[in-house]
Amino acid sequence: MKKLSIYSSVLLALAMSWGCNKDENYPGGEINPSISIFDIRGMYKGQDLTLSKANMGGSVRIAGLVVSDHRAGNMPAGILVVEDGRRLGKMRGITIPLGDDAAKYISGDSVHINVEGAVVTKVNGMLQLKGVTNDKVTKVASGRPIPINRGTTAQILAHPADFESTLTVVIKGGFFPMPAENATIGGDLAVTDGFGRVTLHTEKTAGFAGAAVPLLANYYGVVFNTPVGEDSLTPRMQMRMESDMDVLSNTVVKTPLLISGFASDVKGGDGNYEYIQMVATEDIDFSKTPYCMVVNNNANASTPTGFPTNGWATGGMRTYKINMTSGVVKKGDYCYAGGLYQLINGSGSTAIPASQWVANYDYVAKAGQDFGTKTGGLMANSGNAFGIAIFQGTKVTATSVPIDVLFVSSGGSLYDPGPPEYGYAIANTDFYDINDPIYRTPQQYYRKGLNTLSLVYNTADVGYFYKLGGEYSTDLGRWLTARSQNNFTMTKTTTAAELQDSLATKLK
């Protein structure tokens, strides 16, 4: 104990010595002169606030990228818009009334702006920094890349203040209602990406007003908000130049058959009772134009294990194919494919009319048509991912691309970047894109790139039907409202009409 006491005293003395004998050459910590726009926006509490070195924690400026550009005449006059992502990677922007000097700066200019003494205020629902003059703005670089701030229309509508004064892109956007043939850009048009609708505003005097309206495009624009009532904001996007309308397609490519719902786990035993529901976007005679569906199961015990080297044609316990080669369905009608019994919710339940079935196959007793091991459960009930794909024709190989596809969950051996690449091919749908819509890079498999969306498993053995909702335009060949998961609890007396109600996928 005596030795321990001596050692403790020595350590304490050393610690005190280190604390008192300060190296006079040590500069100490330096406060970052730049404060984030995120922090400035957070300081505003509903009343005008004058910024000072004290309330900015020693900082005196913002360092941001200019996202406004007045050259094409589609920005609010006299307004400079800057953004940064300095805090937590969260992109935030703010407007600065700079008068005629605002036009001296263009998108991609990197600027330092002394904001000491500026006033944070709200003008027409938007935050502004007033009291900044051009002599307080220093351009330090030009032509800097602006990080892509991607937002769905639903996200912009739900959080307009977060997107305010930032350059945002809405991908795979189309107008709804679609303007008349030969219509041009100008005024207010509602752009939708399938998740909501946001106004795209173009001044009639803008340099690109009069440009042709595309069928499908990525729309880049600065988000401005307008107050509605006391607590609500309505966002609008304003493009800076015509190149902010990145045209993806002007060609209508229609998907003839869409997955609109499925029953993967009926009440009681599943064998030969599972099925999928589809809606036809055109008249189909399956004896003349056959299709097939393939279901994959990626449980760890499913063989062959590992990544699906033959994609949807892997077979074994991993993929199972059922052909649809008979029956007729009219545009807008629902049809069904799946197990042998054609019942809505397992043994003893209501029959789905035989006329609506385009394939009822004994997957319990028979191997799949071309590939797949006979099984008591066509679709998984929990755990790793399973997927459903529709193919035109009845031949499916390692390189076949479906016309529609959906996945439930995300686990398992699904995608191997290789080389060579292995995975389950996807289609261009409301959920997935064969090429990244912004960078155009290939991402042709589920779990590659941005193709990560999936539905979620429901509680087992309840008898849920996945109503997928959504609205598909047969004129435009695109989703106006993306599919969403609506879990409908079936009983033994549920009818087919209940699976085809207002929550089911609709055609426009």
β-pairing, 328-329 vs 119-123, is: unpaired
Task: Say yes or no: 363 and 430 in one domain.
Answer: yes
* 397 plus 432 within the same structural domain: yes
Do 190 and 256 fall into the same domain? no
173 and 130 belong to one structural domain: no
Say whether 326 sits in a helix, a strand or coil.
coil
Is 138's pLDDT higher than 80? yes
Residue 22 domain flag = no
The answer to whether residues 81 and 45 belong to one domain is yes
Q: Is the confidence at residue 411, as pLDDT, over 90?
A: yes
pLDDT at res. 29: 60
pLDDT score recorded for residue 342: 98
21 belongs to a structural domain: no
Burial pattern 146-162, b for ≥16 Cβ within 10 A else e, equals: eeebebbbebbbeebeb
Q: Domain boundary residue among 188, 217, 249? A: 249
Q: Is residue 133 part of a domain?
A: yes
* Mean predicted confidence (pLDDT) in 451-457: 97
Q: Do residues 192 and 224 both lie within one domain? A: yes
Main-chain phi, psi angles of 102, to 5 degrees: -60, -30
Distance CA 299, CA 259 (A): 23
28 pLDDT exceeds 70? no
The answer to whether residue 19 scores a pLDDT higher than 80 is no
Domain boundary among 109, 141, 173: 141
Q: What is the pLDDT of residues 46-101, one digit of tens each?
A: 999 999 999 999 999 999 999 999 999 999 999 999 999 988 889 999 999 999 99
pLDDT at position 180 is 82
**9: pLDDT strictly greater than 70:** no
Closest CA to 180 of 459, 475, 442: 475
Are 113 and 101 in a shared domain? yes
Q: What is the pLDDT of residues 228-243, one digit of tens each?
A: 987 899 999 999 999 9
Q: Does 95 lie in the same domain as 50? A: yes
Average pLDDT, the chain: 93
Q: What is the CA radius of gyration of the chain?
A: 29
* pLDDT at residue 182 in the model: 84
* Assigned domain for 4 exists: no
For 122, the token pair is: 């709200």
Instruction: Kindly state the average pLDDT of the residues 119-143.
Output: 97
| Residue ranges making up the domain that contains 199 | 149-249
Q: In what order do the strands lie in the sheet with 49-50?
A: 49-50, 119-123, 126-130, 92-97, 79-84, 61-66, 110-114, 137-141
Q: Which of 325, 467, 305 is nearest to 394 (CA)?
A: 325
CATH code, domain with 60: 2.40.50
SS3 174: strand
> Given a cut of 70, is residue 280 above it in pLDDT?
yes
- Please count the structural domains in the chain: 3
pLDDT tens for each residue of 363-383: 999 999 999 999 999 999 999
pLDDT for residue 293 is more than 90: yes
Name the nearest CA neighbour of 170 among 213, 220, 236. 220
Residue 26 has pLDDT above 90, yes or no: no
pLDDT for residue 43 is more than 60: yes
Looking at the fold, whether 232 and 280 belong to one and the same domain comes out as: no
Specify the pLDDT at position 4: 35
% of the chain with per-residue pLDDT over 90? 89
Produce one character per residue of 199-234: b if its CB has 16 or more CB atoms within 10 Å, e if not: bbbbbeebebbebebbbbbbbbbbbbbeeeeeeebe
**Stronger pLDDT, 138 or 182, i.e. the higher one:** 138
Condensed to tens digits (0 to 9), the pLDDT of residues 417-436 reads: 999 999 999 999 999 999 99
Q: Is the pLDDT of residue 1 over 50?
A: no
Tell me what pLDDT residue 31 has.
Answer: 84
Ramachandran angles phi, psi of 221, nearest 5°: -170, 155
3-state helix/strand/coil string of 402-437:
CCEEEEECCCCCCCECCCCCECCECCCCCCCCCECC
C-alpha to C-alpha distance for 439 and 149, rounded to whole angstroms:
14
Furthest-apart CA pair in the chain: how many Å? 98
387: burial class by Cβ within 10 Å (0-12, 13-18, 19+)?
buried
Do residue 286 and residue 372 come from a single domain? yes
| Six token digits for residue 381 | 């009930």
Instruction: Give the pLDDT confidence of 208-218 residue by residue, as tens digits.
Output: 999 999 999 99
Same domain, 458 and 484: yes
- The residue written with tokens 């087992």 in the block is 460
Q: Using 50, 70 and 90 to split pLDDT, how confident is the model at 409?
A: very high
Q: What global pTM score does this model have?
A: 0.88
Q: Are 244 and 450 in contact (CB under 8 A)?
A: no
- 192-201 average pLDDT score: 96
Confidence check: pLDDT of 165 > 90? yes
Q: Is residue 18 part of a domain?
A: no
For 72, list phi and psi in degrees, rounded to 5. -95, 0
pLDDT at 438: 94
Sheet of 291-297, strand order: 319-324, 291-297, 386-392, 404-408
Burial class for 370, CB neighbours closer than 10 Å (0-12, 13-18, 19+)? middle
Question: Residue 344 falls within a domain, yes or no?
Answer: yes
Residues 296 and 373 in one domain: yes
Boundary of a domain, candidates 141, 157, 172: 141
16 in any annotated domain:
no
